[in-house]
Amino acid sequence: MLNNTEITEEMIFQCFAAAQQSEDRGETAASFIDVEEYEAQIMYPEFARWAAKAGHPKLATLFRKVAGEEKLHSVWLRDLYEDIGVPERGEDTQRAIDALQTIRENCDELIKTNPQAVIEKALTVAIRVEEREYLDIYPRFRDQAKAANDDKTSDVYQRVVDSERQHAEWFHTALTDFKQAAAA
C-alpha cells in the first residue's frame, strides 16, 4: 500500500521478471518457463485489465494477445523438456509479483483520474520488457544452447527472440497511435 497515488514508469517496470541463465541448461529452461508463464498469466493480463478499465478495449485486446503468445513461448520449450513440470517460482518472478500487487491499488485509483498516464507508462514498460528480452536475455539463452550443440533448444529461443521483437514493434505502434489519438 502506498501513501500517495503515484505511479512512475519505474514502479511498473519493477513488475518485469527477468529469466535467469544458469550453468545448467535445464535450470535456464525452467527459469524461462517460469517467467513466460508469469507474463502470460499475471503481468500482461493485469496490463489488459488496466487498459479495459481506462476505456481502451483495443489495447486490452493487444495485451491479451501478447499474453497468449508468451504462453506459447513456454509451451514451445516445454515440448523439449517434457518432465519439467511446474518450475519453482524464481526469486525475481516472486519479487515482480509482489511489485505488481503493491501498485495495484494506486493504479486503479490513478486510472480513474488520469487513465492516459497509466496506459502510456504500461505501454512504455511493455516495450522495455520486450526489448530487454529480444536484445539481451534470450539471445544469451540461444547462444548457451548453441554452444552445447542443442540445436532444437537454440531454434526455440531464436523463434522466441523473433516473437519478442514483434511484440516490441506492436507496442511501439500502439504507443504512437495512443499518443496521437490523445493529442488529437
Taking alpha carbons only, the member of 16, 32, 17 closest to residue 140 is 32
Least distance to Fe ion, CB of residue 35, Å: 8
Least distance to Fe ion, CB of residue 120, Å: 19
Contact flags string 21-60 toward Fe ion, x per CB under 5 A: ---------------x------------------------
Taking alpha carbons only, the member of 1, 20, 56 closest to residue 178 is 56
How wide is the angle at C-alpha 178 spanned by C-alphas 134 and 181, nearest 5°?
160
Considering only residues 56, 73, 121, 142, which one is a binding residue for Fe ion as defined by CB under 5 A? 73
User: Of the listed pieces 15-23, 105-113, 157-165, 171-179, which binds Fe ion according to CB under 5 A?
Assistant: 157-165
In one letter, which amino acid is 94? Answer: Q
Q: Residue 83, class by beta-carbon neighbours within 10 Å (0-12 exposed, 13-18 middle, 19+ buried)?
A: exposed
In one letter, which amino acid is 171? Answer: F
Comparison of 34 and 36: residue with beta carbon closer to Fe ion = 36
Site for Fe ion in 74-113 (CB under 5 A): none
